[in-house]
Chain A
C-alpha cells in the first residue's frame, strides 16, 4: 500500500514536471546571445541598417545581438548561410532584393520559398537622376529624346543584374526606348561618373544621389514609387508623368525554415518594437531610408509577386540563364 502511494505520488510529480515544461505558453527564449547574418560587407548600407536595428532590439530581447557579415557570391553566400542555419531561433538573417534576382540568373540554387519571412524593413524606389545642366527637366523629355536617339543615352547602375540595372531595364521596357546600361561596381562610382559627366543618367535610389542633389550637381527627374519622396516633395513620380512603373529594392528579416512559432513570435515582437523605437526611426530618417514595414504574412506575399516581376524583367534584359 505504502509503496503504491509513493509510486502514485512520484508519478504525479513527474507528470506535473513534464506538463510544466511542455505546457508553458512562452518558451524560455532567448537564453543566450542571438546572431544576425548580414549577406553584405561591414560598413555598407545593409550592414549599417542592420546594426542600428539590432542595437535597439537588444533592449527588447534582453540579450545581446551579434551581427555577422557572411559576404561574397553577390550576396548568395550570406543568404545560403541564413537558410542553412540551425532553426533554434538563435540565428536570424537579413534577406535582400538579390534573393529574387540571383535565382533567374542561375547563380543560386534556392529561392525565397526556402525561408520563413519575419518582416519587411524597407523598400526604396529608384530615381532617374541627371546632371544639373542636363537639357532634360522631366521623365517625358528624357523618354522623348531617347526615342528619337536610340542607343545614345548611357544610364549607369550599381552592377550587372543589380536592382538598379533591372530598374532601368523596366523603364525602357515600359516606354519602348533603347538605352545603354553601364554597370559600375556599386552605386557610388556610378553617381560619381554622372557628376563627372561621363554618362547621362543613373537609375539608383534617392538616398544614393541625395548628397549630389543637395550640392546642386544633379537633379532628379522622377521616382518609381506610387508616392513622392518626403525629402523631395517637388519631384513627381513616374506615374504622375504618365509612365506607370513602380519598382523597389527591399530588405527584410527572415528565419531558416522550421523555427518554433512561439520563438518566432518573440523575435518578431522584439524586432518590431525596435523598428518602432524613436532611435531607429530617427536613424532611418537621417540616412534617407524608406521604411516600409510588413508583417510575416504580407512580406511572404510580397516576396512571391516581387520574384515573378523581377524574373519577367530580367528575361527581357537578357539577364536570365535560359
Chain B
C-alpha cells in the first residue's frame, strides 16, 4: 500500500477541530484515570463509552475511543510505579523496575520515563501501522493453533529473566502459576477442573483480581508489618521529562520495546502484557549490568512502557486491514465500528480510506495529548507517594477491593484478591519472585488450549507441532533465549559474588 500523504495531511485537518480535539482530550484524560485505577482496564473504558458514541459522527466517536485506548495504556504505569498496583495487566512488568525506583526516591524519574517511553512507543507503533500494515497483517493470519502454542512457549522462556536470584524458586513459582492456570473449564471438552464447586472459578482464577492480590494487597500487608519501623523516602517530584542521559541510556530499550510491542500486538490474542515481559527480558539480557535489574533501572521502565503502548498501533493493524481484532480492546472497538455502520477489513481501506486516515491522525494526535495531559497530571498523581503510609495503605486496600469487584461485579473475586494477597505476601517474605505466576497465568491457557486445538486438528499426531516454519523459528528462539538467560543468570551471580567479596574487604579494612 502506498501511503497517501496528502490525505493524511487532510485528515489532520479533520482532527484539529474544536469538537474532535475536545473529545480526544476528554478520552485521553478519562483513559489515564481508568488505566491508573486497578480493576478498570482499557477494554472496560472503551466498552462503557460506546453507548455515548451512538448517533455521533464516526470520526468524532472513534477519535474519542482512540483517546481512551491511548490514555489507558499509559495510565496503568502510574499506579504500577507509585503503589505497586498494575492498573492494567499490561503494566505488570513495569512494576519490576518502576516500583524499586519509587522506593529509592526516584519516582519522578520513573514517572517521567514511563510517560516518555509510552509516547515514543505509541508513535513508533502508529508509524509502523501506517506504513507497514499490509506486510504485518499477512503475518498475523499465519498464526494458527501451532504458532500460538510456540509463541506461548517462547513467552514462557522469559521466566528465568524475571526469576530473581534463585532459578529454582523461579521455576517453582512458574509451575505453581501453570497449575493455577489449569483451573476452570477444560478448553476443549468443557469439563470443569479444580473449581471446588464454585461456578465463579469456571474460567479459572480471574486474572485482574489475582494480579491485584499478588502485587497490591501483598504490599499493603508487608507495609503494615513494617509500618512502625521504616521511614518514608523523600522523593523528588520535579521531573516532567527524563534527563538526556536517561534517554541515551534507554535508547536501545525504547527501540526494542517498541518493535517487539508492535509485532506482538499485531498477533491477534497476544497483547501488551506479553510484549512488556518479553521486552523487559530482552533489555535485561542485553544490558551491560544485568545484575542491577530489579533494583530500579530506568531502562526497564522504558522497555516495558514502550512495548505496551506500541501494542496499540500493532493491535490496530489486523483490525483495520483484516477486520480481525488484535487484542481485547480492539475486539470492543470492532463493535464500535459496526455500530457506526462500518465494517473494518479490506473493504474499509477501499471504501472509507478517508476514515482510516482520520483514525491514523487521531491516534497520533492522541499520543501528543497523552504526553501533555500526562505531564500536567504528574504533579497530582505523584502526590500519592507523599501520603503517610498509615493513610495510603488502607486507601490502596479499599481501591484494590473495589477494583477486583468491578471487573465482574462479583464479591467472590474480592475474596480471591485477599487470598492471593496473603499468598503474595508469604512468597515475598521467603524470597519467591511473583512475576513468573503472571507469565504462567497469561501464557499457560494460551499454550494449553492451542496445543490441544492443534492436536484435535491433526487427529492426535504430535508431528503437526514441527510442521510449520513460524512455529519452529519461535521454538528455536525459545530454546536460545533460555540458554542465553541461564548464561546471563550465571554472570549476574558471579558479579554479585564479586561485589559481596569487595564489600567484605571494605568492611575488613
Contacts and interface: CB of A to CB of B under 8 A. Distances in A.
Interface of A: 41-45, 47-48, 51-52, 55, 68-74, 76-77, 80-81, 105, 107-108, 151, 154, 159-161, 180-185, 188-189, 191-193, 195-199, 210-212, 214-217, 283, 286-288, 319
Interface residues of B, number: 53
A73 B457 CA distance: 27
B346 A73 contact: no
Interface in B41-89: 43-44, 46-48, 50-51, 54
A231 to B, nearest CB: 11
Contacts of B188: 160, 183
Given A42-B48, A107-B192, A211-B343, A72 B323 contact: no
B410 A72 contact: yes
A159 B190 contact: yes
Which residue, of A42, A160, A198, has the highest number of chain B Cβ atoms within 10 A? A198
Interface in B122-156: 141-146
B322 interface: yes
Contact of A161 (B190, B200, B331): B190
B449 interface: yes
Pairs A-B, 8 closest by C-beta atoms: A198-B144, A43-B47, A160-B190, A43-B332, A42-B47, A73-B199, A211-B323, A161-B190
A212 B345 contact: yes
Contact of A77 (B199, B335, B449): B199
B145 A215 contact: no
Given A189-B268, A287-B338, A160 B187 contact: yes
A76 B456 contact: no
B343 to A, nearest CB: 5
A61 to B, nearest CB: 16
Nearest to A192: B324
Given A42-B47, A51-B50, A77 B143 contact: no
Contacts of B142: 196
B200 A72 contact: yes
B325 interface: yes
A116 B343 CA distance: 37
B377 interface: no
B456 A182 contact: yes
B246 interface: no
A72 B340 CA distance: 29
Given A77-B410, A198-B144, A188 B339 contact: no
14 contacts: A42-B332, A51-B51, A52-B54, A68-B409, A69-B408, A73-B199, A154-B456, A160-B190, A161-B190, A185-B187, A188-B334, A189-B268, A192-B322, A199-B457
Given A72-B202, A80-B199, A195 B141 contact: yes
A43 B409 contact: no
Nearest to B341: A286
Contacts of B408: 41, 69-72, 77
B190 A189 contact: no
B186 A160 contact: yes
A215 B143 contact: no
Contacts of A181: 456
Nearest to A318: B189
B203 A212 contact: no
A211 B345 contact: yes
Contacts of B334: 188
Contact of B44 (A42, A81, A283): A42
Contacts of A189: 268-269
B50 A43 contact: yes
A52 B206 CA distance: 28
B6 interface: no
Given A188-B324, A319-B190, A180 B459 contact: yes
